[in-house]
Structure 1
Amino acid sequence: MHHPLRQHIERITPLSDEEFDYVLAHFTRKKVRKHQFLIEEGEPVPYEFFVVAGCLKAFNIDREGKEHIIQFALEDWWISDYQAFFNKVPATMLLSSLEEGEVLTISLADRNKLCAEMHKIEHFFRLKITAGFIAMQQRILASMNLSVQERYEKLLALYPNLSQRVPKQAIAAYLGVTRETLSRLRRS
């Protein structure tokens, strides 16, 4: 059976066994506990995370103490505070685990090294960043143009298992509504 990271990369570009072993050597495997913080606001962000198992959330807490979820990351997804990771500035978001799981971490130096040495990996990361940018743009447009009901239905259509894995409060924080509003949406 192929390694999950290899399967993920090979959806874009094939790798020989030697190439994959070299790529994997630049990652560190990390088990995560439920509710464990991987990034804390104001701290450096040394890693990007590939989710092997579990579910993570990237979020911000506003001045009133309200949580705003920027992204969920399930198996086969990448997540980090990208502004902090790429610009080497303190984190403006938090990243925590909603489930027990496992991630692979890669540092910016190792990511850049792999991209400089292997065109296939540079191509892979370029396509992943492009897809992430498009997804974020679509989410912003949806928040500006769709009703809460439409955004909720779109979320469930895109990620049908998310509601079984993520607390209702987290889905509400992702949609930017209260838990009560979410309950009304779910009944309609």
Structure 2
Amino acid sequence: MPANLREHIEKIIPLTDAEFAFVYAHFTTKKFKKHQYLIQEGDPVKYSFFIISGLLKLVYTDHKAKEHIVSFALEDWWESDYYAFFTQTEATMSLECLEDTEVLCCTLEDYKKLCDGLQKMERFFLEKATFGFLGSQRRIISWQTSNSKERYEQLLKQYPSLIQRVPKSLIASYLGVSRETLSRLSS
């Protein structure tokens, strides 16, 4: 059983061994290679993913075929196209491995069973969703009120390891700047 899942959950709620065994029984483990997709636009979204190891990018592609990086997901993060996951509709985004990646997968049915079967997990998922929402709001505000240099500095401060693991072209896309602008910002 991956210890990092238990440690991750126990940052919010304590679990007995029996409770963790119940939680873990609702996940399956999958491994993906670099450049493989966990979710592709237009496909049904079967899982929410907890990243054990590796790095992912969540991408929205607009009607002009331009990719917009919504997020990067590192170890100990949860990721999916959550709109499609919770509404059981087709994905509007793609989730791709930037490194070889191992994840724990949870279906919507298992998510609901976890919440119904162990009230602590309902609280855990609520807190994770709340902080994810707050992070999204902060990113929107930053996008609207900060210049590219300030956004780059915020990214460096929040996720210093990301800069070492993600190609500069993807960091530039995430920040909404050109590769050349990013080179000027990082020098």
Give the Cα separation in 1 of the matches to 2:150 and 2:184. 13
Q: How many residues align?
A: 187
Match of 1:39 in 2: 39
Identity %: 56
Specify the SS of the correspondent of 1:13.
coil
Specify the SS of the correspondent of 1:156.
helix
Tell me how far 1:32 sits from its aligned partner: 1.3
Tell me how far 1:66 sits from its aligned partner: 2.1
Alignment partner of 1:58 is 2:58? yes
- Runs of 5+ unmatched residues, structure 1: none
Aligned residue identity for 2:156: L
Residues 17-50 of structure 1: CA deviation (Å, up to 9, x unaligned): 1110111011000111001101000110010000
Tell me how far 1:181 sits from its aligned partner: 1.3
Tell me how far 1:89 sits from its aligned partner: 1.0
Match of 1:27 in 2: 27
Aligned residue identity for 1:5: L
Match of 2:4 in 1: 4
Residues 37-66 of structure 1: CA deviation (Å, up to 9, x unaligned): 010001100100000001001011223332
Tell me how far 1:178 sits from its aligned partner: 1.4
Match of 1:110 in 2: 110
Q: Which moved more, 1:56-65 or 1:21-30?
A: 56-65
Tell me how far 1:2 sits from its aligned partner: 6.7
Q: CA RMSD in A?
A: 1.1
Match of 2:49 in 1: 49
Aligned residue identity for 2:108: L
Give the Cα separation in 1 of the matches to 2:21 and 2:129. 23
* Match runs of 1:106-145 below 5 Å: 106-145=106-145
TM-score w.r.t. length of structure 2 = 0.97
Aligned residue identity for 1:182: L
- Runs of 5+ unmatched residues, structure 2: none
Match of 2:90 in 1: 90
Aligned residue identity for 2:120: K
Give the Cα separation in 2 of the matches to 1:61 and 1:184. 27
Aligned residue identity for 1:118: L
Specify the SS of the correspondent of 2:69.
strand
